[in-house]
Structure 1
Amino acid sequence: MSLDDLPDWLPAWCRDHLGSAPGGVLFRLHRMSTVFGLRLAGGGDVVVKARADDGRAGSCVAAQTWLAERGFPCARPLTPVVAVGSLAVHAEEFRRGGEVLRGDSPDVAVRYAEVFARLMAGLSGAAIAPPLPNPRWMRWDHPDPGVWPAIGFLDSRDQAAVPAYVVDTAARARERMLATSLPCVLGHADFEAQNLRWHGREVWAVHDWDSLAWQPEAALAGAASGTFASAGPPTLAPVESSEVFLESYQDIRGRRFTAVEQEIAWAASLWPAAHNARWEALHGDAPVCGDALRAQAVERLRRASA
């Protein structure tokens, strides 16, 4: 990508908020946000992120700033969130390098649980407005009719393509989670291997701070226990690895989950997987998450008392 391909608003935005126009483009990525890696003409590399302004970005960047200022391994925001038309835009340091830690064994689960516990402990003291609505793969508490939150571009597809076991699993997990009134906390809701980078045994960077959620701690840990092994297409970690993740998380946090929290953790481990299995079916993708969900749903639902 060349400088000529940048959006019209971006060079002036950089001059106004970073003190220098872009001098080169390092990369451009597009998922839920559009991410530009830029080399500034005045020196230094930065990352600029732009996403649809749904009201969540300010809280997410505030949480990222809070953690970065306290030494947590994440990119430090360089600007607050700025509205550009219908976009919410901010810049952060370019935290380059590091490797993806692959695998879904219990040993790997422990390493991810340690990072997640450190992250959650760091956020526990932050007075930050909840970033609502929650990401769709964590939005089991939606007010919409039916099992799934209303997402137009998914709802417009042929729902008959979604296997019955996916819908049933999602419905049972959601019913179990809605039957409790545990307090909500702030936490990372897309804790996947592809969003972390490591230098050897040390975590170097946790990315994707757009994906914070406001849910019970046990639910956030439970979701992470299922998603941590996703280094490519989303999958669901083995049951035994999720169990080790949850045990390690509680040990590090120094607090044991109650019996209800244990059940909520297992129920929450299923919702992102069900969302991803539905996505695969609606898009005609290989059922990576769907097959893992089919194999594990009965045991996870049993542990959730769902």
Structure 2
Amino acid sequence: MGNDARTQQLFDWCASRLGPGELVQLVPAAGGQMSNVYRYLMEANSAVVKVRSEPLERVKRCLDAQRLAARNGFPCAMPLGEAEALDATGVVSSEEWRPGGEMLRGHDGDSARRSAILLAELVALLERRPAKALDPPPPWMNWNPPGGGLWPPNGPIDRMDQAPVPDIIRECARRAASRLRRSALPHVLGHGDWEAQNIRWKDGRPWSVYDWDSLVSLPEAAIVGAASGAFASTEVPTLAPIGSSDIFLDSYESARARTFSDDEREIAWAASMWPALHNARGEHLFRSDPVASVAVLEQSEERLNLAKA
């Protein structure tokens, strides 16, 4: 289906579900996205409309968790209606338009604490839903892909020349993935892309959490660990300093009123590497600035030692 036909089909869906309006495609402020995102302008208000190429059941489960969070006062947009198959390759859904707020920039201890406490609130809310599988997890959280490969399958990426990716990046990924795959911890629901670019704050308080496409069902320690490494990422993904990640983990434990076991701490440190390793690989494949790569090279040995990887 051509772009014009797809856009008309999407407009017709919006008009039938939301009423008369105008459809405008949005461009993300920071890099890639899991969805094609639109704003649907109506006479009295607006809605966000998303089209994903993911399984319908996965999208429905993500929306169900987002709806639960919104109904309980968590700062996020409320979904409008249910997700539906737009065609054979796309799933469409809509939610409230919730603009405003600012990113919490920085990787200092205060930023780490505030981000960790907010994540703890979300995980506590999502405990009310069974942690059904949300497969596949996004690639920056997928350290156990089918077939046992190192990286999750991605046709266009896999067909690229992999030689530019340094051996040290591959070796760090192997060590982190090996430790994570040995985990037998139970799974919980959580946000799998806990970066500053996906959270907005207003007057010192959290205003809106975005990117609910990236919910995952993984061990709690892995979700928190990945967030402890990624929380400071804004327009350009990076890896937070080790001390800030440590503050993030401690703050999360305090907010949840429990202490991770030794195994959970090791899993958290292993997971703290994976989003940055995914991004470092991409930097080399696409010849972009080696922001995550430099941070990985500086921190990898200490983080992997903490993970006992």
User: d(CA) in 2 for partners of 1:161 and 1:300?
Assistant: 24
1:54 is matched with: 55
2:22 is matched with: 23
Contact 2:10 2:86 in 1 (8 A): no
Given the alignment of the two structures, is residue 66 of structure 1 paired with residue 57 of structure 2, yes or no? no
Contact 1:27 1:38 in 2 (8 A): no
User: d(CA) in 2 for partners of 1:14 and 1:43?
Assistant: 15
1:257 is matched with: 260
1:269 is matched with: 272
1:223 is matched with: 226
Contact 1:144 1:150 in 2 (8 A): no
- Name the SS of the counterpart of 2:163 in structure 1: helix
User: d(CA) in 1 for partners of 2:14 and 2:207?
Assistant: 26
Q: Using the TM superposition, give the Cα deviation of residue 26 of structure 1 relative to its aligned residue in structure 2, in angstroms.
A: 7.7
Given the alignment of the two structures, is residue 184 of structure 1 paired with residue 187 of structure 2, yes or no? yes
Please give the TM-score of this superposition, normalised by the length of structure 1.
Answer: 0.94
Contact 1:53 1:83 in 2 (8 A): no
Given the alignment of the two structures, is residue 152 of structure 1 paired with residue 155 of structure 2, yes or no? yes
The one-letter amino acid of 2:41's match is R
**Where in structure 2 are there 5+ consecutive unaligned residues?**
none
Q: Using the TM superposition, give the Cα deviation of residue 141 of structure 1 relative to its aligned residue in structure 2, in angstroms.
A: 1.7
2:144 is matched with: 141
Alignment of 1:13-162 (within 5 A): 13-18=13-18, 20-23=19-22, 25=24, 27-29=26-28, 31-40=33-42, 42-55=43-56, 56-85=58-87, 86-127=89-130, 129-162=132-165
2:10 is matched with: 10
User: d(CA) in 2 for partners of 1:231 and 1:276?
Assistant: 13
Q: Of residues 213, 216, 221 in structure 2, which corresponds to 1:213?
A: 216
Contact 2:132 2:217 in 1 (8 A): no
| Aligned residue pairs, count | 301
Q: Using the TM superposition, give the Cα deviation of residue 147 of structure 1 relative to its aligned residue in structure 2, in angstroms.
A: 1.1
CA pair 27-148 structure 1, distance change in 2 beyond 3 A? closer
Percent sequence identity is 45
CA pair 127-146 structure 1, distance change in 2 beyond 3 A? closer
The one-letter amino acid of 2:111's match is V
The one-letter amino acid of 1:289's match is A
The one-letter amino acid of 2:75's match is P
User: d(CA) in 1 for partners of 2:168 and 2:222?
Assistant: 21
CA deviation map 1:40-63 (0-9, x unaligned): 1x4211110111133421111111
User: d(CA) in 1 for partners of 2:53 and 2:149?
Assistant: 26
- Name the SS of the counterpart of 1:132 in structure 2: coil
- Name the SS of the counterpart of 2:296 in structure 1: helix
CA pair 250-218 structure 1, distance change in 2 beyond 3 A? same
Contact 2:131 2:188 in 1 (8 A): no
Q: Using the TM superposition, give the Cα deviation of residue 79 of structure 1 relative to its aligned residue in structure 2, in angstroms.
A: 1.5
RMSD of aligned Cα (Å):
1.6
